Amino acid sequence: MIKISTYIHFTKEQREQARRTDLANFLISQGEKVKKSGSEYEWLDGSQKVTIRGHLWYHQYEQIGGDAIDFVRRFYNKDYAEAVEMLLNNCGGQIITSPPIEKEHKPFELPQRNNRMSRVFSYLLLTRGIDKDVLFEFVRNRMIYESADFHNAVFVGYDSSGKPRHAHKRGTVTSNSYKGNVASSQPEFSFHWYGTSNKIFLFEAPIDMLSFISMHKENWQENSYAASCSVSDRVLFQCLKDNPNIKNVFLCFDNDEAGQTANKRIADKLNSMNITNEILVPTHKDWNEDLIFSGERSNEICHQEL
């Protein structure tokens, strides 16, 4: 059956009211679950995260977003008129609109350093299985440290002049999987390492990057590596800009739908730019699981030989 759109006249004020609908309240009214995350909310599109702030949304994996009308059209399969009508009729007509969002211009600032790193060392070496020589190299370069407040592992990204521009925080308590970027971090400078070879390896998270290096230690410093701290490609293209010697890109996102969708999206972009690339997929969900499994397997073999 062909769906025929019905023309509905909306005033300019009604269209604007619908567009500015607070999406967190709208989703709750539809029986959906949203999760508070700092000044924003998170909603899952299947297994993929959508960030919500007032009437605006952003799909982290597909890297698209819009306002409340765009949201209803995309996720509720409505045409424009149906989306506006649905938003205006929401909550019995008592629709809650969000005020104009003013961008915060809070300057980027690294979390205060703790005077010890025992929690971070314990977490990364023992829990995550990161090779100690690899970890210490990043620590020596002031790229990893422990925060003074919550004892998070902090992964620092610098620009080409050596100024810190990005910091990703990861909780060190196994029962708390907290992770997030410091406010005003610039994604094009997220956690990365520059080598001298023509290769770069791109990962979702710093721990995956460290895990991969731990499993491929030989002359690892010669290559370049980057962790997007998401599935964005912005740090990759910044690395390519800063290092014209890089000719081969290896995409190493997680072995799940979101990661592989991102791998393909970035590969297509690289192909259109005639940049050589290859997709590397971990055997398990991510590279850290591969590292941990390989360590457990080695222990099993040692016990069998004994």
Q: What is the pLDDT of residues 174-209, one digit of tens each?
A: 776 778 888 888 889 999 999 999 999 999 999 999
Q: What is the pLDDT of residues 260-275, one digit of tens each?
A: 988 998 999 999 999 9
Give dist(CA 38, CA 35) in Å, integer. 10
CB atoms within 10 A of CB 135: 20
Residue position matching structure tokens 């306002």:
67
Give dist(CA 289, CA 62) in Å, integer. 25
pLDDT at 252: 98
Q: What is the pLDDT of residues 36-85, one digit of tens each?
A: 887 789 888 766 688 999 999 998 767 788 999 999 888 877 888 888 88
- To 10 degrees, what angle do helices 68-75 and 12-19 make? 70
pLDDT at 103: 43
Q: What is the pLDDT of residues 100-147, one digit of tens each?
A: 444 445 788 999 999 999 999 999 999 999 999 999 999 999 999 999
Instruction: Look up the pTM and report it.
Output: 0.71
pLDDT at 99: 52
Give dist(CA 66, CA 17) in Å, integer. 15
C-alpha dist (Å) from residue 264 to 206, 258, 281:
21, 10, 12
Domains annotated on the chain, with CATH: 12-93 (3.90.580.10), 118-305 (3.40.1360.10)
C-alpha dist (Å) from residue 167 to 25, 40, 82, 258:
31, 19, 42, 23
Give dist(CA 22, CA 96) in Å, integer. 6
Give dist(CA 18, CA 219) in Å, integer. 57
DSSP secondary structure code for residue 90 in this structure? G
